């Protein structure tokens, strides 16, 4: 009787499995897959096809399979590619240095001010990207507060030595472009870092202190490893759009700071060389995807790989 009771109880607790495959999860994927196919895969195929065409805007273009345009484009515009990646990497590193202490304070120390600080971080998004960049022309212009402080502290000599500026003018320089990139994409760095640091268990840091770990050891062995997913996400969200940006280089830079996004914009809308513009766009895409893939694999965070 006991065995019978167990058997009956077990049969009641385990509902009968329905035959056939459950198609609901696959059906839920269809809208997302359709969106990706329409707005990502199709433009990529079109862009790749356009890069292999020959002709002009007046007589039309014919698909000839001109793969030679890729080495030709790379040899012509490789300085702009390297410059764009360098500016984006510099802005990403500077953004990480600025964002990490702020995100840590917001997550662990701000208390009831946490939500207000989050709103202040997001507030720049309420203003147009173009307006924010134009504001930096005023901030960095000669006679402004920033320019006077930099000149008064002698930092212009340091910036000149690093090749970021020429003379005592901050505007229309490498420094201005990198500063604009850092500012405009800084919220993309802060928010993932905040999300990762906000999940930290304070008891782990207390345990590190109980084991006589110094503040530096606590950061290196506890805080930094646990915040690494936020670091990786923040650096990717900053580097990727910064590498293709052209607004900052156009409004804050000069002829020596032209980034690849500005070149693509010019080829598409002014020179009207669509195959070369498409090839350059495809090269930039492949380059960024390759670098991002290597970076994520090297970072080795389980949440992103």
Whether the per-residue pLDDT at 14 is higher than 50: the answer is no
Structure token pair of residue 272: 């009207």
Tell me what pLDDT residue 19 has: 52
Percent of the chain with pLDDT over 70: 91
Structural domain boundaries of the chain? 76-299
Contact call for residues 233 and 185 (beta carbons, < 8 A): no
Report, in angstroms and rounded to the nearest whole number, the Rg of the chain calculated over CA atoms: 26
- Mean pLDDT for the stretch of residues 201-223: 88
Neighbours of 154 (CB within 10 A): 8
- Domain 76-299, classified CATH 1.10.3720.10, yes or no: yes
Structure confidence by residue, pLDDT tens digits, 153-180: 888 888 898 888 888 889 999 999 999 9
Q: Are 140 and 164 in contact (CB under 8 A)?
A: no
In three-state secondary structure terms, 55 is strand
CB atoms within 10 A of CB 144: 15
Indicate whether 132 pLDDT > 60.
yes
DSSP bridge partners of 148: none
pLDDT at 245: 92
Q: What is the pLDDT of residue 1?
A: 45
pLDDT in tens, 62-96: 888 889 999 999 999 999 999 999 999 999 999 99
Q: How many angstroms separate the CA atoms of 103 and 223, rounded?
A: 12
Nearest-angstrom CA–CA distance, 64 and 281: 19
The pLDDT of 178-200, averaged and rounded, is: 94
Tokens of 48: 């790749």
pLDDT at 36 over 50: yes
Our measurement of the distance from residue 303's CA atom to the centroid of its chain's CA atoms, rounded to an integer in Å, reads: 17
């Amino acid at each position: 009787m006991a065995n019978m009771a167990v058997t009956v109880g077990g049969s009641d607790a385990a509902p009968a499995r329905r035959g056939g495959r459950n198609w609901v999860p696959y059906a839920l994927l269809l809208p997302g897959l359709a969106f990706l196919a329409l707005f990502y895969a199709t433009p990529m195929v079109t862009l790749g096809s356009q890069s292999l065409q020959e002709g002009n805007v007046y007589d039309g273009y014919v698909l000839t399979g001109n793969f030679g345009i890729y080495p030709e484009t790379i040899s012509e515009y490789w300085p702009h590619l390297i410059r764009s990646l360098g500016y984006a990497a510099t802005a990403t590193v500077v953004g990480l240095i600025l964002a990490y202490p702020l995100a840590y304070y917001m997550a662990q120390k701000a208390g009831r001010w946490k939500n207000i600080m989050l709103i202040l971080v997001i507030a720049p998004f309420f203003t147009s990207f173009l307006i924010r960049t134009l504001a930096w022309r005023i901030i960095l212009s000669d006679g402004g507060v920033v320019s006077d402080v930099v000149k008064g502290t002698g930092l212009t000599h340091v910036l000149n030595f690093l090749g970021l500026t020429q003379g005592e003018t901050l505007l229309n320089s490498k420094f201005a472009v990198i500063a604009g990139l850092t500012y405009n994409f800084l919220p993309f760095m802060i928010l993932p870092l905040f999300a990762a640091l906000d999940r930290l268990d304070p008891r782990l840091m207390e345990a590190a202190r109980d084991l006589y770990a110094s503040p530096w050891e606590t950061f290196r062995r506890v805080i930094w490893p646990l915040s690494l997913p936020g670091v990786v996400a923040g650096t990717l969200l900053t580097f990727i759009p910064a590498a293709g940006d052209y607004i900052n280089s156009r409004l804050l830079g000069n002829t020596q700071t032209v980034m690849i996004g500005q070149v693509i914009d010019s080829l598409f809308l002014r020179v009207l060389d669509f195959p070369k513009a498409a090839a350059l766009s495809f090269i930039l895409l492949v380059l960024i995807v390759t670098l991002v893939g290597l970076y994520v694999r090297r970072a080795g965070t389980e949440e992103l790989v």
